[in-house]
Amino acid sequence: MATPGKPNLKPLAEQVIVITGASSGIGRLFAVRAAEQGASVVLVARSTNAIETLAAELNQAGKGRALAVTCDVSIEQQVQEVASKTIAHFGRIDTWINNAAVGMWGRLEQSVTKDAVQLFATNFFGTVHGCQAALPLLRGNPHGGTLMNIGSEVSDDYVPLQSMYASSKHAMKGYTDGLRVEVQEIDKMPINIVLIQPQAVDTPFSQHARNYTPQEPALPHPLIDPQTVVDAMLKACTTSTRNQPVGGVSYFSATLAKVLPKVADKFVSGMIDKQHHDAPAQTPAGILYQSTEQMDKTTARTHPAPNAAVPDIKPKNIGHLEDPLPAGAAAAAADK
């Protein structure tokens, strides 16, 4: 049993863990590693085939148990259904991880309001929906549990071309910090509320982003291995913690922004030409309004493994930008 304000977190092998954004990248790798250690995992994503295939593989391996639930986290009712299906299948929730997110490349003056609203619907309100679905169940767990939100180094920092994405992650941090005070300090509930803040990670994140620029987007180097982030997430499932930066750049950029903000402004301004490959944009619509499976189907594109090498970035002058989204893709996005 947990004591007031202090969860008695179970070993990973005894936990039921919900992870959103489980079809690729960090979410998929976390699900695999958690199941390998005996956890029961609920795989949540819009890409039905991807999560059902992964669930079958994990169940066949026989270490942990897995359940796939198709869900768009921007839709509150669908997130509530994830919670209901988890309780029906496993009887409880020990850890809930809000990981689903989408990126956006382009200057703030370029951003389309409809796109920005959808980005916040996924990144911020998807997190809110997850927390609201999970909290009543974690409150009812006699051992307490963990509510984990996957933020970013830009939860404390900022970077040109990804400023709308950074805004959503700033909002997530404010929400997480406020929720922690209400739940842990005021209500004295034994629920560990943690924000994981990784630096840029070697995943298909940039390939999935809504891209207003003419070049293929890329995350600025150095990139960290997704396993490093997963290790921090696994530890947070069983160890009470607060906000956890992951990677040296995450610590550095957050400190610089707080201590020397003018220096930070000059530093990040130099990244504007380091966030593109020397190639035309391939999937400018990204996954903002569609799943990765739908994007791959329409572009005949496949994505590398989470730790696949990223091509060297050759800086491009992108001082004058325009929206390269083809008319057909724009019309399709508008219909979503």
Task: Identify the CA nearest to 67 among candidates 101, 16, 33, 29.
Answer: 16
Q: DSSP states of 56-96 as a string?
A: HHHHHHTSS-EEEEE--TTSHHHHHHHHHHHHHHHS--SEE
Secondary-structure percent of the chain, ordered helix, strand, coil, rounded to 5: 45, 15, 40
Burial 102-111 (b: 16+ CB within 10 A, else e): bbbbbbeebb
Classified as helix, coil or strand, 304 is: coil
Which residue among the candidates 158, 165, 212, 289 is catalytic per the annotation? 165
CA distances, 143 to each of 86, 87, 96, 136, 303 (Å) = 17, 16, 14, 13, 39
Task: Identify the CA nearest to 284 among candidates 222, 332, 336, 317.
Answer: 332
Please check whether residue 46 is in contact with residue 69, taking contact to mean a CB–CB distance below 8 angstroms.
no
Annotation says 289 is catalytic: no
- Residue positions annotated with a catalytic role: 165
